[in-house]
Structure 1
Amino acid sequence: MHTLGPPPETTVPHRLVHLLQHAVDRLLPPGCAACEEPALFERAFCAICEEDSYLLPYSVCPGCALPLPLSRSPYASLPSLAGCLGCARRPHSPITRTTAIWEYEGAVSEALRRIKYSGDLVAAQSLLNVSAALIAPTLRALPPSLIIPVPARRENLRQRGFHLPSLLARCWAKGTHHQPALFALYKTRQTRAQASLGLIERSTNLRDAFKARLTPRPRTSVLLVDDVLTTGATLDAAANALREVGVEKIHALVLARSLPRQ
């Protein structure tokens, strides 16, 4: 599988991804991703926060990873009895399958807030280590693929100094038969923060915002990585860019899945 090198403006972030991964691998002790306490052995959280974290059950929608029929989390509501609410809202999604690890609630939500807005590398390392073990069975079952992170907004990259989906893609690919391609996708323009937008605005905000620097071979499959799946607009926009260069099989891998609210 052949990929082109990163555009010139991504050279520094490319080095940062590897330097930061090396640093967190070697220097940071395991701590709870959501608070200041030590983490449980081979877990991302301390005992208290572990009780407020929710691994997705085995019974989920294969297309969008919403739990079926009910999450054990107190935050979630029942999906529509007429079918999967997540897929109904994305009838033309180019993504054929989605795998998520945690529900985006409680301690997981707090951990991602610490990582994104406080630059907490201890929290990041805890989630990286544990998520790699949890997603390993899925990766072993899939054919050799390119693992591609959804690109960052440049201002977010400047503020945080690292890009969590890139760290996830690199960490999850390690020791597998999959190949990370950290800069196969890039953003063509500045976009507004998705968290501040409504459902329709999220889709239009990202229209034609991604391009692929990729020459796929026949039957190339891609594992598209992001930290959180909410409406799916970001993943769909990135997947559409991959479809434009001929990628047919796109499987999304996400750390956390947002659920319908009560």
Structure 2
Amino acid sequence: MRFIERPFCEVSGAPFDHDLGVGMVSPEVIANPPPYEKARAAVFYDGAARKLAHGLKYSDRADLAAMMAGWMIRAGREVLDTSDVIVSVPLHRSRLFSRRYNQSAELARAIARLTGRPFEAGGLRRVRATRQQVGLGLRARQDNVRGAFAVPADRTPRIAGRRVLLVDDVLTTGSTVEAAARALLRAGAERVSVLTFARVASPGGETLYA
């Protein structure tokens, strides 16, 4: 596996090919600031990491979550230490029924267990069924998840005024976590940070970000 190490963009976590100095951010973030404060990922989404992510997501290998969460904690210590509550990116109930569990929730639950941070299961809901993001371009991905998430009214008091860590398995363009972060902020979250197991890199070596 290829673990993600500095240098990378201080906001998006997108790796740089050379060190630009402490606190530097990518041109993409300057042009289009994301709604979250920081995003971090443990590994690049290729090789063994891709197999692990697919095993967790599609092959009923929920037992992999604890190992993957350990790497995520190492990569995301700075965002973990400044978060009050952990929330996972949810599946729509129809997809949850077919998969039987939410891989992002399994990662979030494992991180909570290993760190002692509270996990707010059901803190975010996918209120609209969406197409799978695989194979969609950036604009289509953004349109697909726009307005797809909301914080249930009975969970709002547990989100409002709190620093939220949003957990997902893989960051591709960032469209999903951005839509989810906006929903958390609308519910009154003080701020949102993102932690994923892996992030996708383009064939040219530059990390995709949106």
TM-score range, shorter chain: 0.7 to 0.9
Q: Distance in 1 between matches of 2:170 and 2:117?
A: 21
Partners of 2:123 and 2:159 within 8 A in 1: no
Count of residue pairs brought into register by the alignment? 195
Where 2:6 maps in the other structure, the secondary structure is coil
Once the two structures are TM-superposed, the CA of residue 204 in structure 1 deviates from its matched residue by 0.8
Once the two structures are TM-superposed, the CA of residue 200 in structure 1 deviates from its matched residue by 0.1
Percent identity, aligned pairs only?
Answer: 30
> Which residue number in structure 2 is paired with residue 131 of structure 1?
69
> Which residue number in structure 1 is paired with residue 21 of structure 2?
none
Partners of 2:72 and 2:195 within 8 A in 1: no
Once the two structures are TM-superposed, the CA of residue 134 in structure 1 deviates from its matched residue by 5.0
Deviations 1:27-63 (Å, cap 9, x if unpaired)? xxxxxxxxxxxxxxxxxxxxxxxxxx11111322121
Deviations 1:155-198 (Å, cap 9, x if unpaired)? 33222211111011111011434210010100111111111311
Where 1:131 maps in the other structure, the secondary structure is helix
Judging changes above 3 Å, is the alpha-carbon distance between structure 1 residues 148 and 56 closer, same or farther for their aligned structure 2 residues?
A: same
Once the two structures are TM-superposed, the CA of residue 153 in structure 1 deviates from its matched residue by 3.1
Partners of 1:64 and 1:86 within 8 A in 2: no
Once the two structures are TM-superposed, the CA of residue 253 in structure 1 deviates from its matched residue by 0.6
> Which residue number in structure 2 is paired with residue 155 of structure 1?
94
The TM-score normalised by the length of structure 1 is 0.67
Partners of 2:145 and 2:175 within 8 A in 1: yes
Once the two structures are TM-superposed, the CA of residue 205 in structure 1 deviates from its matched residue by 0.8
Q: Distance in 1 between matches of 2:59 and 2:99?
A: 8
Where 2:43 maps in the other structure, the secondary structure is strand
Partners of 1:101 and 1:131 within 8 A in 2: no
Q: Equivalences for 1:18-37 in 2 at 5 Å? A: none
Where 1:178 maps in the other structure, the secondary structure is coil
> Which residue number in structure 2 is paired with residue 66 of structure 1?
14
> Which residue number in structure 1 is paired with residue 109 of structure 2?
170
Q: Distance in 2 between matches of 1:149 and 1:139?
A: 18
Letter in 2 for 1:170: R
Q: Distance in 2 between matches of 1:177 and 1:228?
A: 23
> Which residue number in structure 2 is paired with residue 93 of structure 1?
34
Q: Distance in 1 between matches of 2:90 and 2:186?
A: 17
Say which of 174, 179, 195 aligns to 1:237: 179
Partners of 1:150 and 1:224 within 8 A in 2: yes
Letter in 2 for 1:164: Q
Q: Distance in 1 between matches of 2:63 and 2:10?
A: 28
Once the two structures are TM-superposed, the CA of residue 131 in structure 1 deviates from its matched residue by 2.9
Q: Distance in 2 between matches of 1:93 and 1:193?
A: 22
Partners of 1:186 and 1:210 within 8 A in 2: yes
Judging changes above 3 Å, is the alpha-carbon distance between structure 1 residues 140 and 186 closer, same or farther for their aligned structure 2 residues?
A: closer
* Structure 1 position 257 matched with structure 2 position 199: yes
Letter in 1 for 2:54: R
Gaps of 5+ in 2: 19-24, 205-210
Deviations 1:189-228 (Å, cap 9, x if unpaired)? 1111111311101001111110012225774100000000
Q: Distance in 1 between matches of 2:38 and 2:82?
A: 14
Q: Once structures 1 and 2 are overlaid, which stretch shifts more, 154-163 or 102-111?
A: 154-163
Letter in 1 for 2:66: L
Gaps of 5+ in 1: 1-52, 71-82
* Structure 1 position 248 matched with structure 2 position 190: yes
Q: Distance in 1 between matches of 2:123 and 2:80?
A: 23
Once the two structures are TM-superposed, the CA of residue 96 in structure 1 deviates from its matched residue by 0.7
Q: Distance in 2 between matches of 1:101 and 1:254?
A: 7
Judging changes above 3 Å, is the alpha-carbon distance between structure 1 residues 111 and 216 closer, same or farther for their aligned structure 2 residues?
A: closer
- Give 1 or 2 for the bigger CA radius of gyration: 1
